[in-house]
Each structure stands twice: as C-alpha cells, then as structure tokens.
Amino acid sequence: MKIGSINYNHHHYDVIYNQNTHIASLKPLPTSSQLNKYYQQFQSANFNQTKERQRLQVIEKFKSKGRILDIGSGKGYFLHLAKKRNWKCTGIEISKKACQYANNHYQVNCKSGTLETTKLKTNYFNVITFYASLEHLQFPEKALKISHKLLKEDGLLVVRVPNIRSFEYCLHKYFKLPYHGFMFEHLHYFTPKGLKKMLKKSGFKTIKITSRHFAPPEKLTKHPYWLTINLVKRFFEYTNFGGNLCFGNVLYLYAKKF
C-alpha cells in the first residue's frame, strides 16, 4: 500500500507499507553507490551534550560498563561522552570525513565503512546502538542478525527509528495535514509492532519501547491551532507516560539478546 512518495536528485521513490511486516520501505531502494555518494557529503548535527548524556543514562540503567559499538556514529559525539564515562568505544561510520573527525578529536576507534564490511569480534560487545541509522540501511534485518553475533550473551541492543504510527503521521493520514517525515535517506519507516517483530525474528527480546526521546523540542508557535498540535507532540515525546503510548515521531527500543 502506497503511503507517500519522495523525489530526490531526479529520481522518484514511493513509500510502500507492508501489511505483513508493519514496516514501510522505499520502492525502489536507492543503490549502494547512490547512498554512498549521499553520505560522503552528509553533515552531522551539532554536538548536543545534554541529548547524548540522556541517551547514555538510559543505557546505564541496563548496562553500567563494558564495550559499546555505535552503528552510524557520525562525528563521534555519543561515543566521546561514553568514553568519558569509562566505556570502551567503537564506532562504524560510512562517511569518511565524519569518521576521521571522530578519531582525530575524540580517539573513539571509529571504523570507516558499513557493518557488513567491517571485521569485528563476535560475542564481544556489551551494547550495540543504532541511533537514527537502522532506517538508513538497505537490509536492516541483516544488520540486526550481524549485531546478534557481535553481542555478548545478555547484551543490550538500542534502536532509534522513525515512527509511522506517530500522532503527526496520523494527522497526515486522516486529515491530510503536511508531513515532512519522508526523506531520501530513510529507506524504512517503522511501527512499534513491526519493529518488535523484526527484533524478535533477529534473536532479540524487547524490554522497553517508547517514543520518549532526547532531541530539543520544537519552538512553540503562537497560532492556537499549531500550538495545540505542538503541545500534544510534546506530551508524546517529552513525558514518560506519553512516550509509553508510542505516538511520538521516533521510537526508542531496548532489547536483550536471547
């Protein structure tokens, strides 16, 4: 079922929702060469210490120390903070410039490439994170199965992905309001059900899923209509109770290897 479309660099892509997997994907998928070209010129967001610290604090409720692997580690901001808290850090980043920046500035052992092409020890990491990276991969289930091999027994997997069961997407779906969540680099879009199903199939047990996230909130508008929408979004994304309802724009899932 088509739920959206994207035009990028003279190419057209449809967003197709699969009712069996409860996940939507671009059709056709961009080629590896198209994606690699895009990521070599991609710029990471600026360092937000509060956001990265909050992410790590949640992880440390489940695992307090050990080896952590960040897939799509960008310029190494998250790993930099983890290293300061005595985690042994490794990153994988497709952008050569971003990887070089991470190593030069933070010495976090960032490896340039992809999860599939990077040689890593199996049964080695205590935590593996996919912060806004799983949706960028052509074959996310394959990446999860590789991660399963790399994690130690009882290891923790953390995933952050776009949510097409969100309040904002529902406004688009049912009331035709503008929706800006579809973009070229996001090859896949998830629902809570679809994400948990994919994780279970890859050998993981979900222990927590929420739309409570850590990015700075949007500025409130004075227009009464948009102010109401922004306040509802804040409830789903910046309160623990609202996050548990999973209607925010992103999903955070924490899972254990079994």
Q: Is the dihedral of CA 33, 34, 36, 40 positive or negative?
A: positive
Give me the tens of pLDDT residue by residue for the chain, a chain 258 residues long.
999 999 998 999 999 999 999 999 999 999 988 888 888 876 666 778 888 999 999 999 999 999 999 999 999 999 999 999 999 999 999 999 999 999 999 999 999 999 999 999 999 999 999 999 999 999 999 999 999 999 999 999 999 999 999 999 999 999 998 899 999 999 999 999 999 999 999 999 999 999 998 877 878 888 887 889 889 999 999 999 999 999 999 999 999 998
**Assigned token pair, 138:** 């052509």
Cβ neighbours of 98 (radius 10 Å): 23
Do 130 and 72 contact (CB within 8 A), yes or no?
yes
For residue 46, the model assigns a pLDDT of: 74
* CATH number of 66's domain: 3.40.50.150
For residue 168, the model assigns a pLDDT of: 94
- Relative to beta strand 151-162, strand 125-131 is parallel
Q: Which domain holds residue 190?
A: 2-257
Do 108 and 76 contact (CB within 8 A), yes or no?
yes
For residue 213, the model assigns a pLDDT of: 85
For residue 221, the model assigns a pLDDT of: 82
**pTM for this structure?**
0.94
d(CA 160, CA 58): 13
Q: How many domains is the chain built from?
A: 1
For residue 43, the model assigns a pLDDT of: 65
d(CA 137, CA 115): 10
For residue 160, the model assigns a pLDDT of: 97
3-state secondary structure of 24: strand
DSSP string across 38-105: HHHT--PPPP-HHHHHHHHHHHTTT--SSEEEEET-TTSHHHHHHHHTT-EEEEEES-HHHHHHHHHH
